[in-house]
Amino acid sequence: MNVQSFIKRKSKQLPFYVRGFWEQRIPYTEVDLYFWDTMEEWAQVIDKEHEPYSQKERVFWHLLHQLHYWPEQKLLNDPYLKDELTTCIDYLEGEGEYPLDCIGIRP
């Protein structure tokens, strides 16, 4: 699998997990498991050093990092953080503009 196909597949899954967590359909432990599964899958991606970043990839890594960095209660209750993450989700789902403050890097 290459970077582009990885990001295409995972960027469809990530919004599902975040929205499910916010709507209390998915427990935080599942979101955390998704993070670690994603890291494991990323380790199997080939030629990642040679492929350039896409805007979608930068937003994906930013959103994934934020989910892992912030504690569960802040992700649930901080309106500014939720607004930032919603902007990233909207972009990944093709519903919004590129969020200038969401610049992620590969692990």
**pTM for this prediction:** 0.94
Q: Are 30 and 36 in contact (CB under 8 A)?
A: no
State residue 50's pLDDT score: 84
Separation between Cα atoms, residue 85 and residue 79, nearest integer Å: 10
Q: Are 17 and 30 in contact (CB under 8 A)?
A: yes
Domain boundaries along the sequence of the chain: 3-92
CA 32 to mean position of chain CA atoms: 12
| Full pLDDT tens readout for the chain, 107 residues | 899 999 999 999 999 999 999 999 999 999 999 999 999 999 999 888 888 999 999 999 999 999 999 999 999 999 999 999 999 999 999 998 999 888 899 99
